[in-house]
Amino acid sequence: MRSHRKARGTLALLVGALILGLWWVGVRKEPAPAAAPTQGASPASPGDGGRAAALQQDKDEYARKALEALRAAGFTDPLTYDPERFLIQIPDAQGQQAQTIFLGNLYEEYRAAPPEQRDKVLQRITVMGRAPGFPISYTSARSSLLPVVRPRAYFSLLEIPDLNNPSPSPRPVEWRPLGEVLAVAIVLDTADAMKYLGQDQFQEWGITFDEALGVAMENLRSQSSEPLISVAPGVCASGWRDSYAVSRMLLDEVVRRCKVRGDPVVFAPQRGLLLITGSEDEDGLLRAAEIAQEAFQAPRPIDGRALRRTPQGWRPFLPSPHGKAWLAMRKLAVYSQARDYADQRDLLRQHHEQLGVDLFVADFVLAEDEQGRIISQAVWVKGVDTLLPRADRIFFMDSELGPEAPPVAVVRWEAVERDMGAQLLPMEGDYPVRYQPQGFPSPEQLARWKKDPSAMGVPLPPP
């Protein structure tokens, strides 16, 4: 039975790649790779196992060099490399986990550096490894607590169960969602390094996360008196040369320093760059999006999606589809989704392989039309257990029709959710959200979609 399921899964990958390629050839073009930076792997087409394997080998080789650098710097205790989460754990004197070094950003900086500078970049990990040890009293730590804002997926993916430690364990990092797509955590910041704090540390100190966040916010406020920088009419940028520029979106008084038209809108493309403009300023939104796109391509990106301040807090924001800023902001938003889904896909596939679970983790595939408009797509294959991303367009394919058969339908997500929502089971705890489809559209449902022009394809505003 397992070999039969694996054969179907392989067929699904091959059919998906073939159909998507045939569908767009001659009328679509792929987005430029530079416009879609990632924390880990780049968004790939279904069946791109060879490139994923090569990337994993490269990441493993970087981890080997990182371990050698740590040992050469005097770290004599056993160091543990976790390839699934792409991190290194450093034990304390009692052999318990004392420090976790997340390798994703360090690896991206290493890859981006010229060959002659890579050894210097590699040595940064030894500084991170010397983050303050524990135990440390809350009284001593209090003045060094600061809030950090990172992609929500960055923390969410850390919580995929650890196969080497099946027993439940506290979150490695305690965090809270921010604006749906970001997250806020707390670090202990010293002159040499910053250490993310987990649930067990707050329990040891006898305080809650929210109490610690209040202290961290006050510490950040005391370091945030400098004015913002005007980079264009109606657009302000952070001027702080530290790792907490984006964190200052948490401080209302900082956001209010930028005089804008409409509600404040922020971009957080890099940890060292916060951009602020107004929801009713098309020129400001466009200029901020252009700056954010360039920053988002550099190592250590945060997120390209714009957030608007509402009475309910920060929320993802796109302006009118007919405005001049829509296209640039839509690209940033979709590329950010693609980055998150690609990282999640790689971890889930690794996880399922180690568990022996045959579950097809569908790709979030991007295509760009001649007007530069981006469309996201995913494949739902009949008879194949799948984890499906939320995409603009779903390709329904029946593998029994053969590898050269076209999709039996290509349907907008809104129509799929409207007509088959009961058969889309959201996977609890997954971010970005994925669904496990149950069954396949009936012939009657397929026929109804084909008669409904609004269900087929993805209507987009004129360029």
452-463: average pLDDT? 64
Confidence band (pLDDT; 50, 70, 90) for 170?
low
Query: Quick one: 345 exposed, middle or buried, by C-beta within 10 A (0-12, 13-18, 19+)?
Result: buried
The pLDDT assigned to 422 comes to: 95
The pLDDT assigned to 76 comes to: 74
The pLDDT assigned to 164 comes to: 55
Q: Which of 35-39, 106-110, 276-280 has the lowest mean pLDDT?
A: 35-39
Instruction: Kindly report, residue by residue over 127-142, the tens digit of the pLDDT.
Output: 766 555 556 899 999 9
Confidence band (pLDDT; 50, 70, 90) for 25?
very low
pLDDT-above-90 percentage for the chain: 54
**Cβ atoms within 10 Å of 192's Cβ, excluding its own:** 12
Instruction: Tell whether the model's pLDDT for residue 30 goes beyond 90.
Output: no
363-390: average pLDDT? 91
Backbone angles phi, psi at 210, to 5 degrees: -65, -40
- How many residues are present in the chain? 463
The pLDDT assigned to 49 comes to: 55
Instruction: Tell whether the model's pLDDT for residue 149 goes beyond 90.
Output: yes
**Cβ atoms within 10 Å of 118's Cβ, excluding its own:** 16
38-52: average pLDDT? 46
> Which tops the pLDDT comparison, 331 or 193?
331
Helix (H) or strand (E) holding 195: strand 194-196
Q: Peptide bond before 432: cis, by omega within 30 degrees of 0?
A: yes
33-43: average pLDDT? 34
The pLDDT assigned to 17 comes to: 44
The pLDDT assigned to 291 comes to: 98
Instruction: Tell whether the model's pLDDT for residue 377 goes beyond 80.
Output: yes
- 326-355 and 282-296 are packed helices; what angle lies between their axes, rounded to 10 degrees? 40
Instruction: Kindly report, residue by residue over 103-124, the tens digit of the pLDDT.
Output: 887 888 888 888 888 888 888 7
Confidence band (pLDDT; 50, 70, 90) for 182?
very high
Q: Which of 67-71, 259-263, 431-435 has the lowest mean pLDDT?
A: 67-71
Instruction: Tell whether the model's pLDDT for residue 33 goes beyond 80.
Output: no
Q: Which of 163-167, 327-331, 420-424, 455-459 has the lowest mean pLDDT?
A: 163-167
Domain ranges of the chain: 2-29+337-451, 133-222, 229-317
The pLDDT assigned to 103 comes to: 85
Q: How far is CA 461 from CA 63, 367, 413, in A?
A: 45, 16, 17
Average pLDDT, the chain: 83
Backbone angles phi, psi at 238, to 5 degrees: -70, 145
> Which tops the pLDDT comparison, 135 or 63?
63
Q: How far is CA 278 from CA 234, 241, 268, 315, in A?
A: 7, 24, 15, 14
402-429: average pLDDT? 92
340-348: average pLDDT? 92
Q: Are 362 and 378 spatial neighbours (Cβ–Cβ below 8 Å)?
A: yes
Q: Three-state SS string across 103-157, please?
A: CHHHHHHHHHCCHHHHHHHHCHHHHHCCCCCCCCCHHHHHHHEEEEEEEHHHHHH
The pLDDT assigned to 167 comes to: 55
Instruction: Tell whether the model's pLDDT for residue 99 goes beyond 80.
Output: no
> Which tops the pLDDT comparison, 239 or 17?
239
The pLDDT assigned to 328 comes to: 95
Instruction: Tell whether the model's pLDDT for residue 9 goes beyond 80.
Output: no
Backbone angles phi, psi at 61, to 5 degrees: -65, -40
Confidence band (pLDDT; 50, 70, 90) for 366?
very high
Instruction: Kindly report, residue by residue over 301-315, the tens digit of the pLDDT.
Output: 999 999 999 999 999
232-256: average pLDDT? 95
Confidence band (pLDDT; 50, 70, 90) for 418?
very high
Instruction: Tell whether the model's pLDDT for residue 215 goes beyond 90.
Output: yes
Instruction: Tell whether the model's pLDDT for residue 190 goes beyond 70.
Output: yes
